[in-house]
């Protein structure tokens, strides 16, 4: 049994090679550039953890984990284009460093490469893994579309927002765990519980991420606090406030979002506090976290095998940064 | 046994339905819009022909044919973005009718949908078909990258150009035939001959397309003649002329490409004629066409089964439009 950190290191070593030929240079060099920017490799590591929950890690899980990480990076390259983001992890995004055409095509070929890795696994699991991979990939695209739709939409309900987060972020975490479990020979019931664990943990994590962006300690959070507020980003906090605010508070919120005064962050936070957003957010996060833990509990394997996932869950959710 | 035309009609009927759910509307409506623009559905029909060369058509060939047509349309949506093309078949391209973000994401989800159709086939063929599909998809991306590279490259050799055409256009025709053949139970030798038939026919077709763009009868060709010349597009004709031209002719060609005078098409055609490009092109086309026919000949099935492919080859290559 390995901890999340152990497996993350193992995967990173495995992943650290060029996945592409050298030519055409303008197609593949941008892929290599982007992949070496790095990241925590959370999703592929979840795949290995999902496997090891049930059995020793099979090489197929490394193939799938590689596919998942390539898929994730494909979405980042294309999302950065859609968001016109110039930096990621302090490095230039692909369309900024090269150009939009190169980012478009390099992203495409990264997605196809993901399917090449999927096709390396044992034939007996191929159809099942490919189906889950396809469904998940489609859902991630749907989530990205909803996220863009919401930007231009006046009214977004909390449920719509949760659905978007689920599609854009959580399903990939859940599917990564489940694919590992499939390779580990898990029963369908256990697979489903593990999927639900990932799905709910992902939503809890996003609730916390929204919370920390507003109320986090800037030093621990590692990025500017209030960024979402400045951009009028629809978050758990904003959507809930708009739902529970008085007519007067709602009017002030809309004015602040429209006028962008210099004290905007401070003023919006004041309204959030008046609306009791902090407590509400903590409770909502706890609700999803508890649901996640219950599903982990319900998986029919000895509890000692669950330790790495339990530790990861607490690590992700208790973080202040 | 069916003719190309019969199978093209059968496939079009099979394909004519929505392949996507209704929501999110902004993701899937553009996919439906683009697919109903239509086309000759050449590639999926080749898949059915490849199957029927060896056996009665299996439903798997329809699944693969659908995947191939979705893949082809994904490349068109993204290529149109890269080429900043506003029209296709007289209709607005996706990024023009909607916007670039929508075209990007709708293209992505169309590619993923192609893999969903691949995953519908019998498990025994899945790994082999998926491998050919992945390889081909990657090659098409490489061809598109080379095509873009060549635009900004002063010197392109004829062999480099042929390689680009092979990747960008021919491999998908060849793979479509071969995937059908695999489902038809063809031997590896027969599969390879059929692939080479498609590959060489594709190159012959592109040589002819370049030729007709310069020397075709405008009424029969259906589009403006001389378009490639006006855009300084690197074609078989231009690359060959630059190779065989005298220093004086080469100088005139470069001046015409740089200065774009009103009589540019006429003057370039004059140099092409001086360089004997017409005869050279016809011979080169014939060379690839003969190679294609030889591979068809070498396939070990009774010749009566080859009739539809033979008819198609002559139809594609003898066309004046």
Mean of all residue pLDDT scores within chain A: 95
Question: Burial, A55: exposed, middle or buried (Cβ in 10 Å; 0-12, 13-18, 19+)?
Answer: middle
Which is it for the CA torsion B208, B231, B165, A77, positive or negative? Answer: negative
Average pLDDT over every residue of A286-306:
98
Query: Which has more confidence, A141 or A319?
Result: A141
Q: pLDDT tens digits, residue range A270-294?
A: 999 999 999 999 999 999 999 999 9
* Minimal Cβ distance to A142: which of B24, B107, B137: B24
Q: pLDDT tens digits, residue range B108-121?
A: 999 999 999 999 99
Which is it for the CA torsion B67, A79, A217, A163, positive or negative? Answer: negative
Which of A28, A77, A112, A144 to substitute to test the interface with B, most B CBs within 10 Å? Answer: A112
| Local structure of residue B166 (DSSP, 8 states) | I
Cβ atoms of A249 and A275 closer than 8 Å: yes
| Integer Cα distance of B23 and B217 in angstroms | 46
Q: pLDDT tens digits, residue range B180-199?
A: 999 999 999 999 999 999 99
* Minimal Cβ distance to A78: which of B104, B119, B127: B104
* Minimal Cβ distance to A126: which of B113, B126, B134: B126
Q: Strand (E) positions, chain B?
A: 87-88, 91-92
Chain B CB contacts of A116 under 8 Å are 134, 138
CB–CB contact A111 B111 (8 Å): yes
Closest chain A residue to B114, measured at CA: A134
* Minimal Cβ distance to B126: which of A104, A127, A149: A127
Interface of B with A (CB under 8 A): 24, 26-27, 78, 81-82, 100-101, 104-105, 107-109, 111-113, 115-116, 118-119, 123, 126-127, 130-131, 134, 137-138, 141-142, 144-146, 148-149
pLDDT in tens, chain B (321 residues): 899 999 999 999 999 999 999 999 999 999 999 999 988 999 999 999 999 999 999 999 999 999 999 999 999 999 999 999 999 999 999 999 999 999 999 999 999 999 999 999 999 999 999 999 999 999 999 999 999 999 989 899 999 999 999 999 999 999 999 999 999 999 999 999 999 999 999 999 999 999 999 998 877 766 678 989 999 999 999 999 999 999 999 999 999 999 999 999 999 999 999 999 999 999 999 999 999 999 999 999 999 999 999 999 998 887 554
pLDDT tier at A218 (50, 70, 90 boundaries)? confident
CB–CB contact A112 B141 (8 Å): yes
* Minimal Cβ distance to B142: which of A24, A81, A82: A24
C-alpha distances in Å from residue B31, one per residue of B21, B38, B65, B176: 11, 12, 17, 22
Q: How far is A131 from chain B (nearest CA, A)?
A: 7
Mean of all residue pLDDT scores within chain B: 95
* Minimal Cβ distance to B141: which of A109, A115, A131: A109
| Integer Cα distance of B38 and B36 in angstroms | 5
Average pLDDT over every residue of A305-311:
97
A35: pLDDT strictly greater than 80: yes
SS3 B88: strand
pLDDT of residue A319: 59
pLDDT of residue B221: 64
Per-residue tokens: B303 = 């010749």
Q: How far is A168 from chain B (nearest CA, A)?
A: 13
A320: pLDDT strictly greater than 60: no
pLDDT of residue A220: 72
ipTM: 0.96
pLDDT of residue B321: 43
| Local structure of residue B225 (DSSP, 8 states) | T
Q: pLDDT tens digits, residue range A117-126?
A: 999 999 999 9
pLDDT of residue B180: 98
Closest chain A residue to B74, measured at CA: A108
Q: How far is A107 from chain B (nearest CA, A)?
A: 9
R_g (Cα) of chain A, nearest Å: 20
pLDDT of residue B126: 98
Which of B71, B77, B114, B115 to substitute to test the interface with A, most A CBs within 10 Å? Answer: B115
Average pLDDT over every residue of A66-89:
96
Closest chain B residue to A107, measured at CA: B108
* Minimal Cβ distance to A127: which of B26, B107, B123: B123
Tokens 């692909």 belong to A94
Chain B CB contacts of A105 under 8 Å are 78, 82, 141, 144-145, 148
pLDDT tier at A318 (50, 70, 90 boundaries)? confident
Q: How far is B146 from chain A (nearest CA, A)?
A: 7
A225: pLDDT strictly greater than 90: no
pLDDT of residue A222: 64
pLDDT of residue A309: 98
| Integer Cα distance of B165 and A94 in angstroms | 26
pLDDT tier at A321 (50, 70, 90 boundaries)? very low
């Amino acid at each position: 049994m390995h901890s999340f950190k152990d497996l993350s290191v193992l995967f990173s070593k495995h992943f650290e090679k060029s996945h592409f030929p050298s030519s055409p240079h303008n197609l593949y060099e941008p892929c290599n550039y982007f992949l070496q920017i790095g990241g925590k490799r959370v999703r592929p590591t979840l795949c290995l953890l999902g496997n090891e929950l049930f059995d020793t890690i099979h090489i197929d899980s490394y193939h799938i984990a590689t596919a998942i990480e390539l898929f994730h990076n494909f979405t980042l390259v294309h999302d950065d284009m859609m968001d016109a983001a110039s930096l990621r992890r302090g490095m230039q995004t692909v369309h900024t460093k090269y150009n939009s055409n190169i980012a478009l095509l390099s992203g495409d070929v990264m997605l196809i490469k993901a399917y090449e890795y999927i096709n390396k696994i044992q034939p007996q699991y191929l159809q099942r893994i490919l189906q889950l991979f396809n469904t998940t990939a489609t859902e991630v695209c749907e989530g990205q579309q909803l996220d863009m739709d919401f930007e231009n939409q006046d009214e977004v309900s909390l449920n719509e927002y949760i659905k978007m987060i689920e599609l854009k972020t959580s399903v990939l975490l859940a599917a990564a765990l489940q694919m590992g479990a499939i390779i580990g020979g898990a029963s369908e019931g256990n697979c489903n519980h593990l999927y639900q664990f990932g799905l709910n943990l992902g939503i809890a994590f996003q609730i916390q991420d929204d919370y920390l962006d507003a109320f986090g300690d800037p030093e621990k959070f590692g990025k500017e606090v209030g960024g979402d507020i400045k951009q009028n980003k629809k978050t758990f906090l904003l959507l809930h406030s708009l739902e529970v605010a008085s007519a007067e508070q709602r009017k002030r919120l809309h004015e602040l979002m429209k006028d962008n005064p210099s004290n905007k962050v401070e003023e919006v936070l004041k309204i959030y506090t008046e609306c009791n957003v902090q407590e509400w957010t903590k409770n909502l996060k706890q609700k999803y976290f508890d649901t996640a833990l219950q599903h982990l509990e319900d998986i029919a394997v000895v509890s000692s095998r669950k330790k790495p996932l339990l530790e990861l869950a607490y690590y992700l959710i208790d973080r202040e940064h």
